[in-house]
Structure 1
Amino acid sequence: MMSSMQTPPTDPLDLDVETFARPVQQRRFASAMEQLAASRRPDASARVFISAAPRTMNNPKWDSWLKQIEGELPGGVEILHYRNTFTDRPYDWSALAGELDGLVVVGKQKRPGSRVYLFGPIARLELRSLIAKKPVLLFGHNLGLIPAIDCKNQVLGPEDAPRLKLIAPKRWKRDSETLQAALHALGAAPTGGEGPRPATAHLAHPFATPPR
């Protein structure tokens, strides 16, 4: 006789995976990044915004984290963040987003060594605005840069100001195809060779507001 009890869902932290993205999501992401790389002018520097809450930026390790992020991005990338962008102009993300080539989100680590990162409503909205258009990367303190598409995401309450939780994959590898594609999109445009594969109109949008 079969048991009527259902198998409880697996904790994402227990999954021994290199990515939480489906193969089709990875292919679409790589194709979209190829198109961005091919469209870049060789003499144009990519502009990447580092999104971090004030508490994070006031952490004694902030300068070290910023240096690590800069070191993992392609050379010549222009680094923007709140302290060098909104000093003489009001916060207007919709206007700034159109000027950006990529985004790195720095969340609150659940605990030292954890692969779980928490983000407030503002960071979530910033991420949502670019996730389907440009390279969006999570800064994992012990893991380096990880494309958000490779992470497990969960929208948290409250409903009027949803927050976001990202979980980095357990067996994340820095030589992953998605990361290399994202970094290539932020580097100089390739010269010669074959053109890019046709890119999809948009990427899957995994950070929607939870149903009411």
Structure 2
Amino acid sequence: MMSTMHATPTDSLDVATFANPVQQRRFATAMKRIAADRAAGNPVRVFISAAPRTMNGPKWDSWLTQITEALPDGVEILHYRNVFNERPYDWRSIVEDLDGLIIVGKQKRPGSRVYLLGPIARLELRSLIARKPVLLYGHNLGLVPVIDCKSQVLAPEEAPRLKLIAPKRWKTDSETLSAALKALDPNAALEEEEAQPLPHLAHPFTAPPQ
């Protein structure tokens, strides 16, 4: 799925999103369903995926603060150090208890909108992308839903990496980001609305039929 998402050769960085309007609407609807289905008082756990080299870098504490401040109040922040510091890394042991994922990729160069994810981060992303809010942390952009990014799988085949490109005209007031943050809000107000058929959570991330 990820190898074909938004991979048309005519794509340009000079857009507000790489998702088409149908994908955006389906994503927003799916996020609203997550918020509406959450029982009052249930905790919201978000895992911040960052490589050890990133977490050991001088900017990590600042980035962690920025990410925390961008999320709704009351979100429980998890990452390698407070989950796997004293036990072996085992993603399967925690993934079903997560409500969202934030990827901190390696920026291609200062100021770039291109971020590189290693094999582990790519697998973490793939495990949640069709079910929960998954966002990229752009060092100069803030949080960007991955659905709005362009993706490309990179070699080697036995341990593929992933390249995510944030749109050049990305704006933080986007409908997709608002919907994703609402889905991660432990105190989101549940709006009364007429029940209507909702797409399966896998569909927001696939192109509509031609």
Q: Runs of 4+ in structure 1 displaced over 3 angstroms?
A: 195-198, 204-207
Structure 1: state its 5+ residue gaps.
1-8, 208-212
1:80 aligned residue (78, 84, 87): 78
Contact 2:23 2:204 in 1 (8 A): no
Tell me which moved more, 190-199 or 180-189. 190-199
What is the TM-score when the length of structure 2 is the normalising length? 0.89
- Amino acid in the other structure paired with 1:67: T
Q: How many residue pairs were aligned?
A: 197
Contact 2:13 2:166 in 1 (8 A): no
Contact 1:45 1:77 in 2 (8 A): yes
The residue number in structure 1 matching 2:119 is 121
- Within a 5 Å distance, the mapping from 1:38-57 to structure 2 comes to 38-57=36-55
C-alpha displacement of 1:189: 3.9
Q: Aligned-residue CA RMSD in angstroms? A: 1.7
Contact 1:117 1:167 in 2 (8 A): yes
SS in 2 for 1:198: coil
Q: Deviations over 1:95-134 (max 9, x none)?
A: 2110000000000000000000001000000000000000
The residue number in structure 2 matching 1:202 is 201
Structure 2: state its 5+ residue gaps.
1-8
Matches of 2:132 and 2:34 in 1, distance apart?
A: 8
C-alpha displacement of 1:186: 0.5
Report the identity percentage.
69
Tell me which moved more, 36-45 or 191-200. 191-200
Matches of 2:128 and 2:195 in 1, distance apart?
A: 21
Contact 1:41 1:189 in 2 (8 A): no
- Amino acid in the other structure paired with 1:202: L
C-alpha displacement of 1:16: 1.7
- Amino acid in the other structure paired with 2:168: K
Matches of 2:203 and 2:103 in 1, distance apart?
A: 19
- Amino acid in the other structure paired with 1:26: Q
